[in-house]
């Protein structure tokens, strides 16, 4: 849909904005591309991304929203691939065995509070793990796609439980598609049983409440120690 727009070398003209539009007959600089977009196009684009457009839309705003749209499209394709993969699995009795002893020492840490990601990253690095951190849903999904993670440590409220549940679902789906076995650890300040049960039903391996010593409980789980 956007093949004719080069985000790095484009000019965006909004016909509704006379001051920013090129005057009639004025030549555009050679080597650049011009794409005129109207308010309907901008509103539709932001609607696909699930957000409201700002009052004044700049080229940088369009680049950012295009990335969000791409993430949503990628998720749609991932869901279809998952359905195809599960269908193939039903037709075959082959069972995939994953050796826990060769689980990669990589961990994705997701929390909207920077202090938490910094604390956990420091702990994991001390025990020899490669750590990637994220503070936002779509960024976390994109980072998960970049490498094979042995573990994903996810805060449930990023910033609400809705985003947390979506992230658990997507990590589980992508893990199945790529035939990985990422262990999902959910951490939360919530002590509600409904949150714990729902996370477990979606594929989380353990739910750790953020009470005294919760960071050490996560490290204990990853290193194979029993967690109470």
Would you say residue 98 lies in a domain? no
184 and 110 belong to one structural domain: yes
Distance CA 169, CA 26 (A): 51
Would you say residue 85 lies in a domain? no
Tens-place pLDDT, residues 116-172: 999 999 999 999 999 999 999 999 999 999 989 999 999 999 999 999 999 999 999
Q: In 3D, which of 76, 82, 73 has the Cα closest to residue 178? A: 82
Distance CA 108, CA 117 (A): 10
Number of domains, the chain: 2
Domain boundary among 67, 83, 113: 67
Burial 115-125 (b: 16+ CB within 10 A, else e): ebbeebbebbe
Domain boundary among 48, 67, 86: 67
197 and 111 belong to one structural domain: yes
Instruction: Report how far apart, in Å, the C-alpha atoms of 80 and of each of 5, 69, 87, 165 are.
Output: 27, 17, 11, 19
Q: Treating both helix axes as pointing N-terminal to C-terminal, what angle do 161-177 and 59-91 enclose, rounded to 10 degrees? A: 50
Distance CA 105, CA 96 (A): 21
Would you say residue 209 lies in a domain? yes
Would you say residue 22 lies in a domain? yes
63 and 108 belong to one structural domain: no
Can you give the residue range of the structural domain that contains 14? 10-67
Q: What is the pTM of this model?
A: 0.58
**How confident is the prediction along the chain (228 residues), in pLDDT tens digits per residue?**
444 444 444 444 554 444 444 444 444 444 555 667 778 777 777 777 667 788 787 888 877 777 777 766 665 555 455 455 445 544 443 443 444 456 789 999 999 999 999 999 999 999 999 999 999 999 999 999 998 999 999 999 999 999 999 999 999 999 888 878 899 999 999 999 999 999 999 999 999 999 999 999 999 999 888 887
51 and 156 belong to one structural domain: no
Check if the beta carbon of residue 21 is closer than 8 Å to that of residue 51: no
Give the CATH number for residue 187. Answer: 3.40.50.2300
């Amino acid at each position: 849909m956007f093949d004719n727009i080069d985000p790095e070398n484009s000019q965006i003209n909004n016909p509704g904005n006379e001051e920013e539009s090129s005057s009639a007959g004025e030549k555009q600089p050679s080597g650049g591309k011009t794409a005129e977009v109207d308010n309907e196009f901008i509103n539709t684009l932001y609607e696909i991304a699930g957000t409201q457009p700002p009052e004044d839309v700049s080229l940088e705003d369009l680049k950012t929203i295009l990335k969000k749209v791409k993430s949503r499209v990628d998720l749609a394709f991932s869901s279809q691939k998952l359905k195809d993969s599960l269908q193939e699995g039903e037709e075959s009795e082959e069972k995939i065995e994953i050796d826990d002893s060769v689980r990669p020492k990589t961990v994705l840490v997701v929390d909207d509070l920077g202090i938490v990601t910094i604390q956990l990253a420091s702990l994991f690095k001390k025990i020899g793990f490669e750590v990637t951190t994220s503070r936002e849903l779509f960024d976390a999904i994109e980072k998960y796609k970049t490498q094979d993670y042995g573990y994903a440590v996810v805060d449930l409220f990023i910033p609400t439980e809705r985003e947390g549940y979506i992230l658990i679902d997507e990590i589980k789906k992508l893990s199945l598609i790529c035939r990985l076995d990422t262990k999902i650890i959910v951490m939360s300040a919530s002590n509600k049983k409904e949150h714990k049960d729902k996370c477990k039903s979606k594929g989380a391996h353990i739910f750790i409440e953020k009470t005294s010593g919760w960071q050490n409980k996560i490290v204990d789980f990853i290193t194979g120690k029993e967690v109470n």
